[in-house]
Amino acid sequence: MEHAALSSAAAMFRLATWHLVGDPLPRDLPRARLLLRQSTDAGNADAAMMEVALTANGTGAPPDWASARRLLEEAAARDIEIAQKHVNLLSGMDIDAQGYPRRLPPPEKLSDTPLVHSWRNVLTADECAHLATSVLDLLGPSMVVDPRTGQQIAHPVRKSSAAVIGPTRETLPIQAIQRRLSAMTGTSVSAGEPLAILHYAPGQEYLPHVDTLPHEPNQRVMTALIYLNKGYLGGETHFPGIGLTMAGKAGDVLVFTNTQEDGSPDARSRHAGLPVRNGTKWLATRWIRNQPLDIWASRG
């Protein structure tokens, strides 16, 4: 490829990311999509992968799973190695033309109030590794919402590292996993917050807390936890109010409700990630709102 074409592809990719974050250019999601399209056509692999993510998650245009999958397959055919990896992950999934699972194993009910269900082995080891490694470069100290100010602050309640899989990093396998969680919980995929990846080193824990947010009309009605690995001791998810302890293995999912029928926070949903005694624990958390959430609204 011509040097000039390559550098203009890189420049268009740069412009696209500026329009996505809204800095230093105004946020313009449709314009970002157009620039990604042009950059992909000019041979930029980063643009190609980002275009797949944004096509499926409905950034700058309505969500379009079929086009996203076609774009991914085109990228794989152009020898973009990471695209081929994602195609392989998807081909191992039993999903329909919209990326939703064709069938799900039945859950086990662990509690009625709050409602708690578990699914064993509902993600493969490769899917778990894909989630855990998708934010390796971003892992930093966990933040929580300060109840007084509503701001994100580092907080001693959560002694772990965490990173959010933002919309540009939502690979197609990750979005298929989000659809799986949506099918399991009976909630809309657009009500889910971006997946958060948590990493606990030995001695780290998440002290008892509720997942509901202070002063929030669009409440976190449910939480889905995906246990991503094995080989650690301790680290169980514990609900002191109902005497429930879940020792999740790689690929297991735990889903629980955080609010009562009238929508108010349910104190019985209080839970903790018990201290990890040995090894490291990896977890993916999806907090699910009552109503659809604009994944771009709180950014930029």
Ligand X SMILES: O=C(O)CCC(=O)C(=O)O
Q: Using CB under 6 A, list all residues that contact ligand X.
A: 198, 206, 211, 223, 225, 237, 271, 273, 283, 285
Asked if 253 and 169 count as a contact pair (C-beta separation under 8 A), the reply is no
Closer residue to Fe ion in complex, CB, 211/266: 211
| Residue 24, token pair as written in the block | 């230093």
DSSP 187: -
Asked if 39 and 9 count as a contact pair (C-beta separation under 8 A), the reply is yes
Give me the residue whose beta carbon is nearest to Fe ion.
211
* Residue 39 interface partner, choices ligand X, Fe ion, none, CB cut-off 5-8 Å depending on type: none
| Residue 239, token pair as written in the block | 């609900």
205 lines the binding site for Fe ion (CB under 5 A): no
Find the shortest distance in angstroms from Cβ 220 to ligand X. 9
Find the shortest distance in angstroms from Cβ 247 to ligand X. 10
* Residue 57 interface partner, choices Fe ion, ligand X, none, CB cut-off 5-8 Å depending on type: none
Closer residue to ligand X in complex, CB, 34/272: 272
Instruction: Tell which positions 208-237 bind Fe ion, by CB under 5 A.
Output: 211
Between the CA of residue 217 and those of 85, 145, 184, 288, 300, what are the distances in Å? 40, 15, 24, 13, 22
Asked if 134 and 163 count as a contact pair (C-beta separation under 8 A), the reply is no
Closer residue to ligand X in complex, CB, 172/198: 198
Find the shortest distance in angstroms from Cβ 232 to Fe ion. 18
Cis? peptide before 147, omega within 30° of 0: no
198: three-class secondary structure by DSSP: strand
Find the shortest distance in angstroms from Cβ 155 to ligand X. 13
From 73-81, 134-142, 168-176, 207-215, span contacting Fe ion (CB under 5 A): 207-215
* Residue 288 interface partner, choices Fe ion, ligand X, none, CB cut-off 5-8 Å depending on type: none
DSSP 95: B
* Residue 19 interface partner, choices Fe ion, ligand X, none, CB cut-off 5-8 Å depending on type: none
| Residue 138, token pair as written in the block | 């971003």
Asked if 132 and 282 count as a contact pair (C-beta separation under 8 A), the reply is yes
Q: Which residues bind Fe ion (CB under 5 A)?
A: 211
